[in-house]
Chains A and B, each alone.
Chain A
Amino acid sequence: MKNFAYARAENVGSAIQSITQLQNAKFLGGGTNLVDLMRENIEQPDHLVDLTALPLAQVEELSDGGMSIGALVTNSHLAAHPLIRARYPVLSEAILHGASGQIRNMATTGGNLMQRTRCYYFYDTHARCNKRAPGTGCDALEGFNRMHAILGASEACIATHPSDMCVALAALDATVQVTGANGKRAIPLVDFHRLPEDTPQTDTNLQPDELITAVELPALPCARHSRYRKVRDRASYAFALVSVAAALEVKDGTITQARLALGGVAHKPWRAFAAEKILVGAPAGEDTFKAAAAEELKVARGYQHNAFKIELARRTMMSVLTTLAHEGGAR
């Protein structure tokens, strides 16, 4: 690992001041991804600005019934929070299906959003990768692309976003609260991460001077009835091949509210808006779920080793929606 200069930020203002004034500086949270990437020489910052002393580690109820999750709340603490478990169980489940106990204790909410892809070719500095070294090409396109994207990919990059937590946040209409040199703004989670297009080196729409301070969840009664399902190559501690976050509200057999998002399939957490349109107002049953999944996957494209993901995504959506409908979405 290349050496760097270390500074601990005392408040949000000084953190932003440091990141704008220092050359080639990066924010440091729990370090679980950044330290690993620095050790592999994929990230080579000259300065790290440690955020962990900032007062951003609270989970708070908002006056409108929503929740605010500080950027430094650890994955473990968020997943275990009683109000999150009761009101947004899909979020607890998603977090608990990611990483390991040790990593969830270190990893922060803001850092989870900023995770970089786990594409093998991104990690292999001898491989061509437009995300790591723009303009060099993409070895995943013709390579071993089992874990790669089936939705929203480009000829420049077929990497996937690795987060489980973000898939639940995408389904829950979360917003990312950020502060920059010119003030604060809120970015809908679904617009926070980017599709690769021809600039896959840019993962998010966060500006270089901006710091994530919190993630906010709106009051969302249908989220009380929500689930996360993750399909992977081993039972625990593996990245998703496909995952599904869903919430469903059913009244008199008709779907009145639906939230659906997919993980492991795209460069960003994939909110299934097309499927939701089919679901809402339709009878809660197999035909509806089938039509919704088919609509969402109409634009899916498989590569040599990951075409199975299209069928897997369809079945996983069907399974989660069927479970939610049976479990008492019909109240």
Chain B
Amino acid sequence: MHEDGNGTMMMRLHINGTRYDVQLEPRVSLLDALREYIGLSGTKKGCNQGACGACTVLVDGERINSCLALAVQYQGREITTIEGVTAADQLHPLQAAFIEYDGFQCGYCTPGHICSAIGMVEEYKQGMPSAVTENLAATDIEFSEVEIKERMSGNLCRCGAYVGIVEAIREAFEKEVAQ
């Protein structure tokens, strides 16, 4: 990793199991690196300031806003985008549930919602509490509508498909979190 005279740097990113070597300025966000330089345009740019969650990706399994992330900081981490949540010719169970329960209208926020919910369920399975968890000491937290809504509050849907989104998340993960 070194800087050249043009203020760019060679960066090595690991995305969806593939290695990408890209020459970028350090100011390039992970979101722009994905969309504009690597060609993975499934991740969406909404507000570009961390408010809407459309840019959510997974880093080492944890959900983050790629718009607030500088690509240079994420070298050596395992980045998963919507293109990598499942094999190319299959639907992730949550994607199938979004179709079944009308979890979208225009679909622009959907990749962010899917990645965010996948990360959210991992947090849930690790026993992480939320702002609406009554008993912080509890290890067994109910996978309720109230919990799902609070945990997904970093993702906005301007079409207002929230009812379907919550149903889809619940349906896709209820069995998994009960184990």
Which residues does A use to contact B, with CB under 8 Å?
1-6, 28, 31-32, 35-36, 38-39, 48, 50, 52, 76, 79-80, 85-86, 89, 92-93, 96-97, 99-103, 105-106, 235-237
B119 and A101 form a contact (CB under 8 A): yes
Docked pose: A100 CA to B51 CA in angstroms: 9
Contacts of A52 in B (CB 8 A): 73
Residue B46, interface by CB 8 Å? no
**Residues on B with beta carbons closer than 8 Å to the beta carbon of A38:** 27
In the bound complex, do residue B154 and residue A102 qualify as a contact, i.e. CB atoms below 8 Å apart? yes
Closest 3 A/B residue pairs (Cβ): A100-B154, A236-B153, A6-B26
Q: Which of B114-153 contact A (CB under 8 A)?
A: 116, 119-120, 123, 126-131, 133, 136-137, 149-153
Would B149 and A1 count as touching, CB distance under 8 A?
Answer: no
Beyond A6-B3, A101-B151, A105-B119, 17 extra complex contacts between A and B, CB < 8 Å: A5-B7, A31-B68, A31-B70, A32-B50, A32-B68, A36-B49, A48-B26, A50-B72, A80-B123, A99-B154, A100-B154, A100-B155, A102-B53, A102-B63, A106-B64, A106-B65, A236-B149
Which B residues, 78 to 108, have Cβ-Cβ distances below 8 Å to chain A?
Answer: none
Instruction: Output the least CB separation between A137 and chain B (Å).
Output: 26
Find chain B residues with CB under 8 A from A79 CB: 128-129
Q: Which residue of B has the minimal Cβ distance to A40?
A: B49
**Cβ contact within 8 Å between B149 and A35:** no
How far, in whole Å, are A35 and B64 apart by their CA atoms in the complex?
A: 14
25 contacts between A and B (CB under 8 A): A5-B7, A6-B3, A6-B9, A6-B70, A28-B73, A31-B69, A35-B29, A36-B50, A79-B128, A80-B129, A85-B136, A92-B129, A93-B131, A93-B136, A97-B131, A100-B50, A100-B53, A100-B154, A101-B120, A101-B123, A102-B119, A103-B154, A106-B65, A235-B153, A237-B154
Q: B interface vs A, CB < 8 Å?
A: 3, 7, 9, 25-27, 29, 48-50, 53, 56, 62-65, 68-70, 72-73, 116, 119-120, 123, 126-131, 133, 136-137, 149-155
Shortest distance between the CB of A226 and any CB in chain B (Å):
10
A102 to chain B, nearest CB (A): 5
* B69 CB to nearest chain A CB (Å): 6
A39 touches B49 (CB 8 A): yes
Q: Is the CB of A96 within 8 A of B64?
A: no
Docked-complex contact B130 and A96, CB < 8 angstroms:
yes
Whole-angstrom distance between the Cβ of B25 and the nearest chain A Cβ:
5
Task: Check if A3 sits within 8 Å of B154, measured CB to CB.
Answer: no
A35-B7 contact given A79-B129, A85-B136, A101-B119, CB 8 Å threshold: no
Chain B residues, CB < 8 A from A97: 131
Residue in A36, A50, A96, A100 whose beta carbon sits within 8 Å of that of B129 in the complex: A96
The residue in chain A whose Cβ has the minimal distance to the Cβ of B61 is A105
Inter-chain CA distance A31–B31, complex, in Å, is 14
